Amino acid sequence: MTLRTSQNLIRLFISLSIFAFTVFLTPNFNIDNIYVLIISSIFIVTVDYLVATFTGIHDYPIGRGIIGFFSAIVIIYATQFFIAGYYIPMYSSIIAAMIYSLADYFLPNTIK
């Protein structure tokens, strides 16, 4: 298993954990079942990976910080338009993005 693959698996696990935790604590953030949680996590990790690859966001410290945070908000919020059973208001996506961005900051940067 390559470092990039293991990093993406870690991101998937972090995404699952963040959303399970955020759904539990945040009002008006609803995921219908565990399958929707898994599918939405895979979707978010995939879109984040594609955005980072094509834009080079994670190549620079500010990209992993402020820009990564705002892109995470957009990705997390926009997921509800692609995944049925996933409903999140904007303020919940900000909370989830804060946690996701903080966790993402500590992952090794292998996207080049």
Tens-place pLDDT, residues 18-50:
777 777 777 778 888 889 988 988 888 788 778
Q: Determine the residue type at 6.
A: S
Mean pLDDT over 1-17 rounds to 73
User: What's phi and psi for 86, nearest 5 deg?
Assistant: -120, 115
Q: Which residues contact 29 (CB under 8 A, 6 or more apart)?
A: 22, 23, 87, 88, 89, 92, 96
Indicate the pLDDT class of residue 108, thresholds 50, 70 and 90.
low
Neighbours of 38 (CB within 10 A): 15
Distance CA 15, CA 81 (A): 18
For 48-87, the pLDDT digits (tens) are 778 878 877 666 666 566 777 888 889 889 999 999 998 9
Task: Output the pLDDT for position 60.
Answer: 65
CB 29, CB 22: distance < 8 Å: yes
Q: Is 66 exposed, middle or buried (0-12, 13-18, 19+ CB in 10 A)?
A: exposed
Supply the pTM of this predicted model.
0.75
Q: Is 23 exposed, middle or buried (0-12, 13-18, 19+ CB in 10 A)?
A: middle
Indicate the pLDDT class of residue 5, thresholds 50, 70 and 90.
confident
